Structure 1
Amino acid sequence: MSSPHLLTPEGKLAAAKKLLGLPRIVVICGSTRFMTEMNEADVRETMAGKIVVKPGIDMKSPHALRSDPAEAEALKTRLGDLHRAKIRLADEVLIVGDYIGDSTRAEIAYARSLGKPLRFTHPEVDPDA
């Protein structure tokens, strides 16, 4: 008989990662104003042998595909949902940057509610420190 915790989706995911021999997965969070820093963190984490997931779209930079304000707002909502899925997938969360806005603060709270370990490139911005 399997352990009761393995019946949860989180337990099943953890067991599958272990069976597959996957390296730790780190999700990078933070304001997209720090995309350069996120890319550098991606390099460091990848070189450390981790699978890295991070924001794929910088909503702060103009792009022709986001020129319609209504479509851009809908995309922002979808991207928020996608990023929360990345947080659920990850084994740990790395917060990049020396500024924490509302979106990042919500991501931190979400990650903590899931019991995910968090690291900060700038620990002084941890809202719970």
Structure 2
Amino acid sequence: MMLRITIGKRFAMLRDELKGDEPWTQSKVASKTGLTTNQVARLEQSGAGSIDGFLTMLIFYLNQGYNLNWILMEDNEQVGKLFINENTKDIDTQGSIAALQTLKSSLTELLETEIDKVVVKLTP
């Protein structure tokens, strides 16, 4: 749970760092990603939302040049926030894929547990 909140805070931090003619608001990120402003806000505030929304945000920031390992790793102090060059990007992509697979596995287990609880409550 804490990692989700941390990732949400990192999304907000990265949005504040984005450059352009005007500040990047949650509405502007929503417009660029196809998410709603509420989805972006929930992801930034608590890391809550759909897996699709979460992955959409990750892909958005990857396309902005940010390192997915920096976003996803609990302890990211030794990880660069930005890609430095194409060689680094290839290495970081592999690490990001591994981190996403681990996250997917954790989310799947959590979802299964929650579904089991609902089934138990609904079973006569």
TM-score in terms of structure 2 length:
0.32
More strand by share: 1
More helix by share: 2
TM-score in terms of structure 1 length:
0.31
Higher-RCO chain (CA-CA 8 Å, sequence separation at least 6): 1
